[in-house]
Amino acid sequence: MTFAKSLLTAALFSASALAAKPNLEFSDVFDFKYAQGRVLSEDGRFVALSAKPYRGDSTGQVYDLKTNRLIASVERGTKAQLNRAANWAAFTQVPSLLASETSDKKARKELKRALVLVNTLTGEQRTFNAVKDYQLSDDGRWLAYRQDVKPEPSEQSKQSDDAKIPADKKDKTYPLVIVDLNSDQQHQFEQVGRYALSPAEYGVLMSQHSEDGADNQIQYFDLARAQASVLIDEPGVTLSHVAWHPYSSLVAFTQGNYVNDDTRRRAYQVRLWDAKVDRFTEVAQPQGWYSAKSAALSWSEQGERLYFENRPLLAPKPVEKKYQDQASLTDLDTIMAQSGLKVWHNNDTQIKPREIKTWEETNRDRNYQAVYHLNSQRVAQLSDETARDLTLNREATFLLASNDQPYLEQIMYKGFYADYYAVQVATGARSFIVKEAPNRPTLSPTGKHAAYFMHDQLWLKDLHAQKETAVSKAVHDALFGDDRHDYPEPNPGYGFAGWQQDGGTLYAYSKFDIWAFDAKTGQGTRLTQGKEHQTQYRVIKLDKDFVGFTSDEQVYLSAHNLANKQTHIAKLNLATGKLTTLTSGEAKYSLIEKAKQADTLLFTRQSYHEFPDLWQTDSTFDKRNKITNLNPQLSTFAWGQKPELVQYQGYNGEQLQGVLIKPANYQPGQKVPVVFYFYRYMSQRMYDFPHMVLNHRPNLPMFTSNGYAIFLPDIRFEIGYPGRSSTQTLVNAAQKLIDLGVADPDKIGLQGHSWAGYQSAFAVTQTDMFKAVVSGAPVSNMTSAYSGIRLKSGLARQFQYETGQSRIGKPLTEAPELYIENSPVFYADKVKTPILLMFGDKDGAVPWQEGIQYYLALRRHNKDAIFLQYEGEPHHLKQFPNQVDYSIRMKDYFDHYLMGKPAADWIKSGLPYRKEGSN
């Protein structure tokens, strides 16, 4: 055989092998796995995770990063944990999917979970059945867990309830088992509520309840002595929260009593107890304050501060008027008290649904933040009703607080605003930062300065002198305001990277670069050269308790190129200014975690054809090892061509980009069906691995594997004309694909949901270019939607049109013509394109009546329209059968109208309602 013939044979073999790959089917999606609950040991030696398929049972996995191998797999293992010494990996073993799906609601509640411990040195697995919850000691010697078993009723429990002190309904007790994992010695305690195992080898603090509540106790079990002792013994006593000091024998807890059955007003005392010397310390509340049942406790990392929550004393609970005697049956006040009245008053700060929502979810049990300083034994109140919301960083000495109460009324038309303050952790003293700010400020670690973006400028403020300077004014070659922001509201900035620990330098973002501003002079220095290369540099923060940078720190950066869409990892030396790019290639790299006590980093690399598996490396990035291989089946499918960037013009002539993914077996010159999937800006997804699930979005490989091209266009909107600008952009993009010879002009479809659902529903009233549309949860009538309510949040929808996503920019009374012009329902008679509408009838974002309006208007004009109503579903489908059903019908629809396949029966004649009566 000649060399040329051998090349030809190889090419033919390669082509036949490619052609032999099967197309992706819906059932194939079920097998794709994602890593959930990933944990990395502090020493960087082990990583544990749960490999969760889209449909099926999870597998717990433990990897040894020293040998780079999988050392254990745990059947149905979820919620991975590693103790501090990393000698145990723990997994919650859940019932099988089959057991859950074949059980009725009552039987499903009886299914038990188990605890599986994996010895990371030997791979040995130990299983503990029927486990409600558990805790492991830092050194891995001790395990405490509650058994999920129901106690047998005793004679005492059958006695009269009159003398009982009942626990709160949700406060269940279970047997507590304490295990010495070295010797397997066990100790058991009955009817235990809250409990906490000390990180070091001290003991377990627990709340033990008696059946009638009269003999409730708070007990301590000493691990070294294997001995239990009663610390507090009083009728009805209970624990709400327990937090052991990270290094010492001190434990903090909140102690309450069920004697007061009003859970909102029941006071819980914050107390400390030292297990070594058996000494209690009371944490004194500020005058007029108390801690409630829901108040949290947490220590700073070194244990010098105890953060706790509290609230002002509440007024007595109003006495409810109820029917009690003959006279009450005709008492007008008592009768009216039984009504379901809610008064909507014009002077209400919030409209009633929003008021109800915030009361039920936030304000009824609202807590404020306080701190107890262990060394000085002093309490500082950090937040209160005038600075309600506090961002807690347990290691910081100054914290950012905000208050949105003065601006609640204007949410309905203007958006979200707040006043901001700096709060000193030591004393609770407060400094004012900025009033009525739409964007969140940043606060220096020393509390002397703050920075924020307002009125298209970056402001640096000296909080001591209350003097502010627009530091971005002196910078003429950088954009600090988002130039892609196309909303009728104040322009936001690009944000902040942080501060130096000494507060002397602010690090802020321009469009491309990172800038250092001197806090004293306001002078700015550019640290990166992203603008020259169209690369956007952003700091990667791997420490959740990050406070500030050191002057010589090596900072990891994300480097996203806006031109080619590649995302890499870089490193910046703040002392020398040296910038090092650590990765390269046509991919999206993401640095996701660093070991706390070791030079071990975890990152992912992904593209349309590469799943984002876990990789490990060190700070040099010289040696990289792939850890997981969760979806080896990926290579067996005909998946799709390599994504390409396509340039086209937007509505106003702006140059935009879109991502084109041709079918798997595409041949040059072919004209193929194309499905547009869009929302706003989409081209940044160029190197994203497609999400392998079935839901309200099209599964992209399902289409590119089966003969379709997919196009992900960028769209920029014109204020006042969102429908027109979106439609023209979609038409321009479609024409570009036709001009490239890729798109069959008679086989281009649109799929969008929510805001993109609106765009697709509107587009077909203006153009016949698209031959089939699938529109999920679209607004169809802006005149009715404007005065509606977002049921999930309780907010009036007016802000969405005046300053938000719908981009009209004016109230309905000022510009009714714009609301009509942008509403597809008013142009239903113009539609010539088949359209499939979808709504969940419990949609909390867009009223599903919007879909009904459009469907009825289309129906009135005898248009080719089908409406899919999914019962009980919110804005995005949540129930698995509905997700699968919609995904299949979506493809059925495009297969018929774009591929020319025979119409499915439901497309031809719908599904008649037939419900049989019960036997």
Render 127-140 in DSSP notation, one character per residue.
Answer: EE-SEEEEEE-TTS
20 sits in which H/E element: helix 3-20
Residue with the two structure tokens 């003097």: 467
Rounded Cα gap, residues 308 and 299, in angstroms:
9
Report pLDDT for 880.
97
Report pLDDT for 2.
44
The DSSP call for residue 630 is -
Q: Which of 824, 821, 802 is nearest to 813 (CA)?
A: 802
pLDDT at 130 over 60: yes
pLDDT at 11 over 70: no
Report pLDDT for 154.
65
Report pLDDT for 753.
98
Report pLDDT for 200.
85
Is residue 744 a contact partner of residue 671, using CB atoms and an 8 Å limit?
Answer: yes
53 sits in which H/E element: strand 46-53
375: exposed, middle or buried (Cβ count in 10 Å: 0-12, 13-18, 19+): exposed
Rounded Cα gap, residues 867 and 186, in angstroms:
61
pLDDT at 19 over 70: no
| pLDDT tens column, 390-424 | 999 999 999 999 999 999 999 989 999 999 999 99
Report pLDDT for 156.
58
Q: Which of 815, 809, 713, 694 is nearest to 770 (CA)?
A: 713
Would you tell me how many other CB atoms lie within 10 Å of the CB of residue 81?
17
What is the strand order of the sheet 142-147 is part of?
A: 131-136, 142-147, 174-180, 186-197, 203-208, 217-222, 227-233
Is residue 298 very low, low, confident or very high in pLDDT (cuts 50, 70, 90)?
very high
The DSSP call for residue 810 is S
| pLDDT tens column, 468-508 | 999 999 999 999 999 999 999 999 999 999 999 999 999 99
Q: Which of 690, 584, 590 is nearest to 631 (CA)?
A: 690
Rounded Cα gap, residues 658 and 652, in angstroms:
16
pLDDT at 13 over 60: no
Question: What residues does 800 pair with on adjacent strands?
Answer: none
Q: Which of 736, 787, 725, 733 is nearest to 758 (CA)?
A: 725
**pLDDT over 70 for what percent of the chain?**
97
| pLDDT tens column, 189-206 | 999 999 999 998 899 999
Give SS3 for 554: strand
Ramachandran region, residue 364 (left: φ > 0; alpha: ψ -120 to 50; beta: rest): alpha
Is residue 163 very low, low, confident or very high in pLDDT (cuts 50, 70, 90)?
confident
Sign of CA dihedral 845, 849, 852, 854: negative
371: exposed, middle or buried (Cβ count in 10 Å: 0-12, 13-18, 19+): buried
Report pLDDT for 155.
60
Rounded Cα gap, residues 556 and 553, in angstroms:
10
Give a three-class secondary structure readout of 759-786: HHHHHCCCCCCCCEEEEECCCCCHHHHH
Half-sphere exposure of 225 (CA within 13 A, CB side): 9
Is residue 919 very low, low, confident or very high in pLDDT (cuts 50, 70, 90)?
low
pTM equals: 0.94
| pLDDT tens column, 573-583 | 999 999 999 99
| pLDDT tens column, 613-637 | 999 999 999 999 999 999 999 999 9
Rounded Cα gap, residues 49 and 673, in angstroms:
40
Report pLDDT for 5.
44
Is residue 639 a contact partner of residue 704, using CB atoms and an 8 Å limit?
Answer: yes
- Across residues 677-687, what is the average pLDDT? 97
Rounded Cα gap, residues 48 and 74, in angstroms:
11
Rounded Cα gap, residues 607 and 577, in angstroms:
31
Displacement of CA 706 from its chain's centroid (Å): 32
Long-range contacts at 26-29 (CB < 8 A, ≥ 24 apart): 26/694, 26/702, 26/884, 26/887, 26/888, 28/633, 28/637, 29/54, 29/55, 29/692, 29/693, 29/694, 29/699, 29/702
Report pLDDT for 914.
87
DSSP states of 691-722: P---SSS--HHHHHTTT-EEEEE---PPTT-H
Q: What angle do CA 71, 72, 78 make, to 5 degrees?
A: 135
Report pLDDT for 539.
98
Q: What is the mean pLDDT of the chain?
A: 95
Question: What residues does 589 pair with on adjacent strands?
Answer: 605
Rounded Cα gap, residues 822 and 725, in angstroms:
10
- Across residues 159-164, what is the average pLDDT? 70
Q: Which two tokens stand for residue 369?
A: 């933040």
Q: Which of 701, 911, 860 is nearest to 26 (CA)?
A: 701
Rounded Cα gap, residues 102 and 470, in angstroms:
64
Rounded to 10 degrees, the C-alpha dihedral 903/904/910/912 comes to: 150
Ramachandran region, residue 44 (left: φ > 0; alpha: ψ -120 to 50; beta: rest): left
Q: Which of 60, 58, 113, 125 is nearest to 88 (CA)?
A: 125
User: Per this entry, what is the length of the chain?
Assistant: 919
- The beta-strand segments (E) located in 628-696 are 644-649, 655-661, 672-677
| pLDDT tens column, 762-784 | 999 999 999 999 999 999 999 99
Q: Which of 851, 785, 847 is nearest to 819 (CA)?
A: 785
Report pLDDT for 915.
85
Would you tell me how many other CB atoms lie within 10 Å of the CB of residue 18?
11
Q: Which residues contact 856 (CB under 8 A, 6 or more apart)?
A: none
- Across residues 277-302, what is the average pLDDT? 96
**pLDDT over 90 for what percent of the chain?**
95
- Measure CA of the first residue to CA of the last residue in the chain; give whole Å: 76
Is residue 158 very low, low, confident or very high in pLDDT (cuts 50, 70, 90)?
low
Q: Which residues contact 588 (CB under 8 A, 6 or more apart)?
A: 566, 567, 605, 606, 607, 687, 688
Q: Which of 701, 531, 706 is nearest to 633 (CA)?
A: 701
Is residue 916 very low, low, confident or very high in pLDDT (cuts 50, 70, 90)?
confident
- Across residues 16-35, what is the average pLDDT? 86
Rounded Cα gap, residues 717 and 725, in angstroms:
6
Would you tell me how many other CB atoms lie within 10 Å of the CB of residue 558?
18
pLDDT at 159 over 70: no
Q: Which of 739, 741, 691, 750 is nearest to 715 (CA)?
A: 750
Give, in order, the Cα–Cα distances in Å from 35 to each of 631, 678, 751, 865: 11, 27, 28, 40
Give, in order, the Cα–Cα distances in Å from 791 to each of 48, 72, 449, 746, 875: 39, 46, 40, 40, 10
- Across residues 214-241, what is the average pLDDT? 97
Is residue 150 very low, low, confident or very high in pLDDT (cuts 50, 70, 90)?
confident
Q: Which two tokens stand for residue 314?
A: 């509440």
Q: Which two tokens stand for residue 794?
A: 């309780």
Residue with the two structure tokens 């190197």: 687
pLDDT at 131 over 50: yes
pLDDT at 367 over 60: yes
734 sits in which H/E element: helix 722-739
Report pLDDT for 853.
98
| pLDDT tens column, 65-112 | 999 999 999 999 999 999 999 999 999 999 999 999 999 999 999 999
Q: Which of 687, 675, 758, 671 is nearest to 713 (CA)?
A: 675
The DSSP call for residue 359 is I
Is residue 729 a contact partner of residue 656, using CB atoms and an 8 Å limit?
Answer: yes
Query: Among the listed ranges 46-60, 145-159, 701-715, which one has the minimum average pLDDT value?
Result: 145-159
The amino acid at 389: D
73: exposed, middle or buried (Cβ count in 10 Å: 0-12, 13-18, 19+): middle
Q: Which of 799, 733, 798 is nearest to 770 (CA)?
A: 733
Report pLDDT for 917.
76
Report pLDDT for 15.
44
Rounded Cα gap, residues 558 and 535, in angstroms:
10
Question: What residues does 282 pair with on adjacent strands?
Answer: 271
Q: Which two tokens stand for residue 101?
A: 């799906």
Is residue 500 a contact partner of residue 518, using CB atoms and an 8 Å limit?
Answer: no
